[in-house]
Amino acid sequence: MKTSAILMLTASLALAGCSGMGKTRASIVKEAAACDDITVQVYFDPDSAELTREGQAVLRAAAGQAKPCRIDRVRVLGLADAVGAPQANMDISKKRSAAVTRALIANGLPNAEFDLTAAGQADAVTSGGEDRPVRRRADVTIELSAP
């Protein structure tokens, strides 16, 4: 008696498992796009506003991650270290912001409001007179919402 009950239970479980056959996981479970804001930093070589391979890869990944979402705004802040003349550092930080923006657009980031800012060497030195490291970068925030 126990054996027949076990066999019947096993057969019904097997048949129940087969009823879902032919359906893909995507048709059963719809995964929502993660439309959380994306923040990345893109680093540059000294005295350069040209994107490195690593920087290009970071921006390509960020643009790809943002594609299924609505792009509300993109904020790009170009920075420079404290080495060199203040005006030259401001100019290079502007060029870094522009290079990042061009790369995001080239990687298919949908039309959005771009807010480009350049800080030059502002805050590149601590109040104690020490240089802040790794200021040769652009900070990027892609503000997203669900489509």
Q: pLDDT tens digit string along 18-41? A: 455 555 555 555 555 589 999 999
Query: Cβ contacts of residue 102 below 8 Å, gap of 6+?
Result: none
At residue 29, the pLDDT reads: 53
CATH superfamily of 33-145: OmpA-like domain (3.30.1330.60)
Give SS3 for 133. coil
Residue 96: both structure tokens together? 């870094």
At residue 129, the pLDDT reads: 73
Regions in the chain scoring below 70 on pLDDT: 1-33, 133
Is residue 118 within 8 A of residue 93, CB to CB? The reply is yes
pTM of the model as a whole: 0.73
